[in-house]
Structure 1
């Protein structure tokens, strides 16, 4: 088991529906990380922005972006996380990929599709959570709109880190800030949110507010808003253990099932 986990958050602009340009842009950012890290986190739909034109930019699980992620993970000897648009079995998915350093991929399809933007009409919703075991840590990665649904994120699996990748607009950024902190506190886990910046072709503005919260809801990062930035934060397993044993809040959680 690894006591510390070093995470790199990449808060970046995205080029609209241009996978090649986004990969080139992100390659430069990933290559610029000089220190050794365990995980690199990219935003939601990092090859395209939050588009509903899935047929224009969708790839398969054998496509260029998947191979790109595997090659970079191997080269940097780090896990890489982010979501892209995947075409599979005549459906489109907003799919998060957790790519291990050895190239093994674990996936999560976004459960809560964003009906306000019509995501539910284009993308097929996922049905199950993903729990990744990595270097002795249990990680639960989710996507954007999932943040508004605490039952889905409820820590019944005793995970250590909750991660959200997002395209969360500036107009509702106060909700993003509040909910990330709440998810950390109620689940007694680290909670990380990685959001994009810039403006998309639908004139939606994104201000970032990527963040890392500890078990007590204390903010651990110094990420500026409204600009591209790479932040590296180290998580401490003992912090989780100490406060879970001291406070025992998770022992009093409600028992339920999701149908």
Structure 2
């Protein structure tokens, strides 16, 4: 049975979480999905002044995600700037209708743009089991690092939330397909549109299957896209074409 996956591709008002959340809620209510993916820092935009926008680890944006999940019966995922244990994190939440919350702290911070100077990197991958599927959580720049995202038959789909600039849109589209193909997994990727003080964004959010084929794609407008992810289909494909068994073994050392 397929899991209904939706991706919201919005414009984001700069550093205005209450207005953004109010504008997004009708899309959440109407998504008709089992899981809805939102972009990176969806409540504020990709702001590198975390003292201005970060909330506590159990702050109002997470509370809103909890309420949406309970009210509309779908899981939600996306990243938020948080302040936890005295440091700032770019934290991707996965919130289930039951109230269960999982999170992933972005590991690859975008050093060229100053993110590594403003936030503390996470040190562990997060795989969430939900609806009969295993989801690896990833945030934006992580997409460029295939070793970090390498599947060892431990997940079925990648959820990637991003604020990926239009100037590098070819890399975005290419890397998403590459990660799907090399890991034989579904990919859901949520990017934003519009602009902020640092960049312009072209969208190009997608839902891909485990062969890298397009299931649904967005253009450069605010929209919601949907597709079904079938866990039995990805399992059958890996059994039929078990390329993952021939992958090079490695051990990851995290500083």
TM-score bracket for this pair, using the shorter chain length: over 0.9
Aligned partners of 2:40 and 2:78 also within 8 Å? yes
Q: How many residues align?
A: 253
Structure 1 unaligned residues grouped into runs of 5+: none
Aligned partners of 2:204 and 2:217 also within 8 Å? no
Deviation at 1:242, TM superposition (A): 2.2
Deviation at 1:158, TM superposition (A): 2.5
Of 122, 126, 131, the match for 1:135: 131
Map of 2:41 onto structure 1: 45
Moved over 6 A (4+): none
CA separation in 2, counterparts of 1:133 and 1:82?
16
CA separation in 2, counterparts of 1:107 and 1:169?
24
TM-score, normalised by the number of residues in structure 1: 0.95
Map of 1:253 onto structure 2: 247
Deviation at 1:238, TM superposition (A): 2.7
Map of 2:227 onto structure 1: 233
Deviation at 1:157, TM superposition (A): 4.4
Structure 2 unaligned residues grouped into runs of 5+: none
User: Per the alignment, in what secondary structure is the counterpart of residue 241 of structure 1?
Assistant: helix
Map of 2:150 onto structure 1: 154
Spell out, residue by residue over 1:63-104, the C-alpha distance to the aligned partner (whole angstroms, 9 max, x if none): 111110000000111110000000011100000000011111
TM-score, normalised by the number of residues in structure 2: 0.97
Q: How does 1:39-188 map to 2 (within 5 A)?
A: 39-188=35-184
CA separation in 2, counterparts of 1:144 and 1:222?
17
CA separation in 2, counterparts of 1:4 and 1:190?
12
Map of 1:13 onto structure 2: 11
User: Per the alignment, in what secondary structure is the counterpart of residue 83 of structure 1?
Assistant: strand
